[in-house]
Amino acid sequence: MEELSLVKNQIKTFVQECNDAKSLTLLELLATGKMLRSKLILKIAGINEEAIKLCAIVEMIHAASLLHDDVIDESDTRRGKPSVNALFDNKTAIMFGDILYSKAFTELSQMDKRIAHTVSHAVTLLSIGEMLDVDLTQKFNSNYDLYLDMIYKKTASLIEASARAAAILASKDEEKYALYGKNLGLAFQMIDDILDITQDSSTLGKPAMLDFVEGKVTIPYLFLHQRIEDKQKLESMYKKSLRQEEIAWIKEQMNTTHALQDAILQAKTLGNEAIEALKDENTLDLVMIMKAMIEREF
């Protein structure tokens, strides 16, 4: 997508404006992701100067949050490359994150007040979401509502804000697009959590079923926990490195109780609700983005 290079150039210009050579070097080292938030903004608001700036702001905030997240998670890799904390140290990752997100806020303060409010509020939610995520991995969480609140804040809030802000820019119905963005974010996270169980480690690029080992009780595990007799057996496997037969037992239980199937259904329902919300908006591209996410092999 040609327009995504416009976003990358805008990010570079913003960082150049900070007049700091080290920041520019660090920016070059960051691996770029799928730029889902930018794609969403440009589909809603069209390709114009304000929309490109909004994309750059959101991508810089997202990058900052991942820099900090890799420190919090003690993660050595990001998008298949060594993370900044691994290449340098935690201090560098935190400080560069601070530079990216404060520069993003400087630029955000120059935009429409409603856009600035929408995006900055989402960053508060994002930060709370990260704290909830860390707290929820301390002990086995069997409360689905807590999981839903956490993934909304940590993952969906910035995607929702991107869609809402883009709709404001383009004078479109912001509630409809916000709902689409929120559900896209929730479905995205749920599917990520499902693939951790259904995909093998070579496809994932990390050990399969790592979430549970790392203390994350995601949607398929929550549904399973609600449905099985022997809840203690599942709880006893929490946060432990799993043996082959334990992995097989969890997978078998996920299938026989339909926990996995119903988790997939939940993600699909959210996706279809979003598609329905946009039915009068003439947004085939957004429908395709959602369908590509939910209508896939699991």
To Mg ion, the closest distance from the beta carbon of 180 in angstroms equals 25
DSSP-derived pairing of the beta strands 77-78 and 81-82: antiparallel
Q: Site for ligand FPP (CB under 6 A): which residue of 37, 53, 103, 154?
A: 154
Residues with Cβ within 8 Å of 256's Cβ and at least 6 positions away in sequence, in order, are none
Give the interface segment with ligand FPP, choosing from 33-41, 49-57, 62-70, 255-263 (CB under 6 A).
62-70
**Binding flags for Mg ion, 60-89, as an x/- string (CB under 5 A):** ---------x---x----------------
Q: Does 68 interact with ligand FPP (rule: CB under 6 A)?
A: yes
Would you count residue 123 as binding ligand FPP (CB under 6 A)?
yes
Q: Which is nearer to ligand FPP, 23 or 127 (CB)?
A: 127
Contact between 54 and 41 (Cβ < 8 Å): yes
Residue for token pair 């805008």: 10
Name the segment binding ligand FPP (CB under 6 A); options: 7-15, 69-77, 164-172, 269-277: 69-77
Toward ligand FPP, which CB reaches closer, 101 or 140? 101
Q: Which candidate, 154, 58, 155, places its Cα nearest to that of 107?
A: 58
In 3D space, the residue among 211, 214, 121 whose CA is nearest the CA of residue 160 turns out to be: 121
Pick what 123 binds: Mg ion, ligand FPP, none; C-beta below 5 to 8 Å, kind-dependent.
ligand FPP
Restricting to residues 76-105, which ones interact with ligand FPP according to CB under 6 A?
A: 97, 101
Least separation in angstroms between CB 59 and ligand FPP? 11
8 A C-beta contact, residue 138 and residue 215: yes
Amino acid at 198: T
Does 182 help bind ligand FPP (rule: CB under 6 A)? no
Tokens encoding 237:
């496997």
Q: Which residue has the tokens 């959590």?
A: 193
Nearest to 170 by CA among 279, 72, 282: 282
Phi, psi of 82 (to 5 degrees): -60, 140
The binder of 64, among Mg ion, ligand FPP, none, by C-beta within 5 to 8 A per type, is ligand FPP
**Closer residue to Mg ion in complex, CB, 116/128:** 128
Q: Residues 257, 223: contact at Cβ < 8 Å?
A: yes
Residues in 254-293 that interact with ligand FPP by CB under 6 A: none
Q: Does 185 bind ligand FPP (CB under 6 A)?
A: no
Q: Is 193 in the site for ligand FPP (CB under 6 A)?
A: no
Assess contact for 272 and 29: CB atoms under 8 A.
Answer: no
Q: With respect to Mg ion, which residue has the nearer C-beta, 214 or 276?
A: 214
- 207 Rama sector, left if φ>0, alpha if ψ -120 to 50, beta otherwise: beta
CB of residue 255 to ligand FPP, shortest distance in Å:
25
Q: Identify the three-state secondary structure at position 1.
A: coil
Which residues contribute to the site for Mg ion (CB under 5 A)? 69, 73
Residues that bind ligand FPP (CB under 6 A): 61, 64-65, 68-69, 73, 75, 97, 101, 123, 126-127, 130, 154-155
